[in-house]
Amino acid sequence: MTAWIEGRFEENVITTTLEQAMNWAQASAIWPMTFGLACCAIEMMAVGASRYDLERFGCGAFRATPRQADLMIVAGTVTHKMATRVRRLYEQMPDPKYVIAMGACTIGGGPYFKHGYHVVKGVDLVVPVDVYVPGCPPRPEALLEGIMRVQDKIKARKVTKGEFTLPVPHHEGHVRPVPIT
């Protein structure tokens, strides 16, 4: 769309679209919420530490309040008692917001699937999940991969053409499938 204008200005001038600029800004500054539910949270903490350095992706600013966070990483066993709290935290996050289900417990109940009467059999029963990161626990590299997939979803979002409305966009339907290259 901008091909006619590309390269027609001096060097050091960049032309882009509003959509690309907005998506790039959010994808490059995802703020996860600070909370963990069980052992998977230890791997999540490792991602934020120096060895894996989540800040390389612009996503290291873990927020202590849902009102400043746009990424919920559900890391650990979701019990029925905790599920209502997870839902409440999710609803307190501003739109647009994203959810990663990290680990077997979060995705489907994990080792508690058969006999754990107290465990929710998948956090997608509580909040809408964007990316699943399997494992028990997943390696920190796996969570990094999941965060990059969230960034792909944000970058593919259509800001124009009515698919994205400000200031409070709806959570569903903003994302085009990203072609696998």
List the binding residues.
Answer: 39-40, 105, 136
- Residue 111 DSSP class: G
Comparing every residue's Cβ against ligand SF4, the nearest one is: 105
- Does the protein bind ligand SF4 through residue 76 (CB under 6 A)? yes
Closest separation in Å from C-beta 93 to ligand SF4: 22
Longest dimension (CA), the chain: 67
Tokens of 155: 């970058």
Residue ranges in 113-142 that form contacts with ligand SF4 under rule CB under 6 A: 136-137
- Does the protein bind ligand SF4 through residue 83 (CB under 6 A)? no
Answer for which of 110, 122, 140, 146 binds ligand SF4 (CB under 6 A) is: 110
Closest separation in Å from C-beta 164 to ligand SF4: 34
Distances (CA, A) of 73 to 53, 153, 178: 16, 16, 21
- Nearer Cβ to ligand SF4 (38/45): 38
- Nearer Cβ to ligand SF4 (103/140): 103
Choose among 19, 176, 28, 34: nearest CA to 93: 34
> DSSP of 38-86, one letter per residue?
STHHHHHHHHHSTTT-GGGGT----BSSGGG-SEEEEES--BHHHHHHH
- Does the protein bind ligand SF4 through residue 77 (CB under 6 A)? yes
172 vs 180: CA distance, rounded Å: 21
Choose among 44, 26, 47, 28: nearest CA to 36: 44
- The region of 33-41, 87-95, 122-130, 150-158 touching ligand SF4 under the rule CB under 6 A is 33-41
What residue ranges bind ligand SF4 (CB under 6 A)?
38-40, 76-77, 103-105, 110-111, 136-137
